């Protein structure tokens, strides 16, 4: 979920998704309903083939990515129920199947929740995203003139704490440590400023702190009262530190196997699913099922959560190449970042997406505006190689094959 752990949007993800990008939404402006079975649910053949896609990925990529579990949810327009499929086992080399209600760490998909909270507060005239950080957090004078908007679109110039060697060393030394927001920001205070677009989790920890300063209540309370409860997201959870066993035990193991972060080498090959998420907080600490996440994404992109002005702000983009505002991505400037959301264009079209990562999980969602398709795919490792984009492409092709999205207009991107 971080610039380093989930700088997947859209830098690290470019390697995984840009070369195997999902089929663009232009194939069908008004797709027919998905094939249904006799009981009104998704046709068994479609479900079987989607499960086959997950199983094939685990067979082909399980060893390389040290991944044992996969979850998938598909949300089609005008369909109340999601198509939910899972495959694999809860542990690498284990025998316990992944359950349909498995929880996954969604990583930086959390950022959109944080952005929506701030935009709701703006709509209530309790703040403005043009407000400088100093209005709400005067204890950080070095960032006094940074507007909240620039926290959310990653152009603040504030470095990310989780690239700092001191933070990484402290995290590896005690994975159960509870980091406070102030401690996390403290790792970034003396680091060199960045320029242009630069992915930073510090931005979203500061955003969390602003939410608490404005409302006088905890971020978790605002998240629950404003978003989780009203939307009926009963399988979406946030705690800034550790979850109780009843929640934590619904997660499969999560494996950290990267080799490019020497400070975290003590965690390599370990199950890190039960370690503290206090290092991620409002930047990436939410747990959810893939089904709940597709419901959230539909509400997010279809404008159910914000008035028109704030919805437009949510989807306003800067180029990740220049850091300058752009109307939309396109062939000459294919990757953009909004306020906790991301957009991509390749030869096949334009879509919204985000791949969030934590130490041991990856979760990719994609939303295709023209077809209305939403998918969410989760895997239980964070590895040097990441081909989740290829899996998403295969899922899309399976939906097309079964008539769920109408006739195909192309294949995976090159």
At 229-284, the pLDDT tens digits run: 999 999 999 999 999 999 999 999 999 999 999 999 999 999 999 999 999 999 99
Instruction: Give the pLDDT score at 347.
Output: 52
**153: in domain:** yes
Q: Is 147 inside a domain boundary? A: yes
Q: How many CB atoms lie within 10 A of CB 325?
A: 12
pLDDT digits (tens, 9 = 90+) for 78-124: 888 999 999 999 999 999 999 989 999 999 999 999 999 999 999 99
pLDDT of residue 405: 80
Domain assignment of residue 265, yes or no: yes
Q: What is the mean pLDDT of the chain?
A: 89
pLDDT at 35: 52
Tell me what the mean pLDDT of segment 385-411 comes to.
80
Output the CA–CA distances (angstroms, integers) from residue 399 to 48, 60, 74, in the order listed.
12, 21, 9
**Considering the domain boundaries, does residue 402 fall inside one?**
no
Q: What is the CATH number of the domain that holds 234?
A: 3.40.710.10
Q: Where are the beta strands (DSSP E) in 233-279?
A: 236-238, 255-256, 270-271
Whole-number Å distance between alpha carbons of 202 and 142: 14
pLDDT at 78: 80
Domain annotation covers residue 368: yes
Closest CA to 109 of 204, 23, 191: 204
- Bridge partners of 83, per DSSP, are 74
Q: Where are the extended beta strands (E) located within 199-309? A: 236-238, 255-256, 270-271, 286-288
Q: What span, in angstroms and rounded, lies between the C-alpha atoms of 24 and 411?
A: 9
Number of domains in the chain: 1
What percentage of the chain exceeds 70 in pLDDT?
A: 87
Q: What is the Cα–Cα distance from 31 to 372, expressed in whole angstroms?
A: 8
Domain carrying residue 140: 60-307+357-384
Residue 301 domain-assigned (yes or no): yes
Would 8 be classed as within a structural domain? no
pLDDT for position 10:
36
How many Cβ atoms from other residues are within 10 Å of residue 268's Cβ? 16
Q: pLDDT for 137-163, tens place per residue?
A: 999 999 999 999 999 999 999 999 999
Residues 6+ apart with CB under 8 A from 407: 27, 28, 400
Asked if residue 363 belongs to a domain, the reply is: yes
pLDDT of residue 348: 55
Beta carbons within 8 Å of 48's beta carbon, 6+ residues apart = none
**DSSP letter, residue 344:** E
Beta-bridge mates of residue 270: 256
Which pTM value belongs to this model? 0.90
Query: Can you count the helices (H) and strands (E) in the chain?
Result: 13, 15
């Amino acid at each position: 979920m971080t610039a380093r752990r989930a700088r997947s949007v859209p830098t690290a993800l470019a390697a995984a998704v840009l070369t195997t990008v999902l089929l663009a939404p232009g194939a069908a402006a008004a797709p027919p309903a998905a094939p249904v079975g006799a009981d009104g649910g998704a046709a068994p053949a479609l479900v079987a083939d989607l499960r086959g896609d997950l199983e094939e990925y685990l067979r082909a990529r399980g060893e390389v990515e040290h991944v044992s579990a996969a979850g998938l949810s598909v949300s089609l327009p005008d369909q109340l129920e999601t198509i939910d499929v899972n495959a694999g086992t809860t542990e690498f080399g284990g025998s316990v199947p992944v359950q349909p209600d498995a929880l996954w760490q969604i990583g930086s998909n959390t950022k959109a929740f944080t952005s929506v909270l701030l935009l709701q507060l703006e709509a209530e005239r309790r703040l403005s995203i043009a407000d400088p950080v100093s209005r709400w957090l005067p204890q950080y004078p070095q960032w006094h003139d940074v507007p909240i908007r620039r926290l959310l679109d990653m152009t603040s110039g504030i470095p990310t704490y989780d690239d700092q060697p001191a933070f990484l060393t402290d995290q590896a030394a005690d994975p159960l440590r509870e980091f406070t927001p102030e401690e996390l920001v403290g790792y970034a205070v003396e680091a060199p400023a960045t320029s242009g677009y630069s992915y930073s989790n510090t931005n979203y920890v500061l955003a969390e702190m602003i939410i608490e300063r404005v409302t006088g209540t905890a971020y978790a309370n605002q998240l629950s009262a404003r978003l989780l409860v009203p939307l009926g997201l009963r399988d979406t959870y946030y705690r800034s530190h550790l979850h109780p066993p009843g929640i934590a035990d619904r997660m499969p193991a999560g494996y950290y196997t990267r080799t490019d972060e020497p400070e975290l080498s003590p965690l390599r090959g370990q199950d890190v699913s039960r370690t503290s998420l206090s290092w991620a907080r409002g930047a990436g600490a939410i747990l959810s099922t893939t089904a709940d996440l597709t419901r959230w994404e539909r509400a997010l992109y279809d404008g159910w959560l914000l008035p028109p002005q704030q919805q437009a702000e949510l989807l306003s983009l800067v180029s990740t190449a220049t850091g300058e505002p752009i109307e939309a991505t396109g062939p000459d400037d294919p990757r953009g970042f909004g306020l906790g959301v991301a957009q991509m264009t390749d030869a096949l079209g334009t879509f919204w997406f985000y791949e969030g990562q934590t130490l041991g999980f990856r979760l990719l969602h994609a939303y295709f505006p023209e077809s209305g398709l939403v998918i969410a795919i989760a895997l239980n490792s964070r590895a040097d190689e990441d081909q989740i984009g290829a899996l998403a492409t295969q899922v899309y092709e399976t939906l097309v094959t079964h008539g769920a999205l109408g006739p195909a207009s192309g294949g995976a991107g090159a």
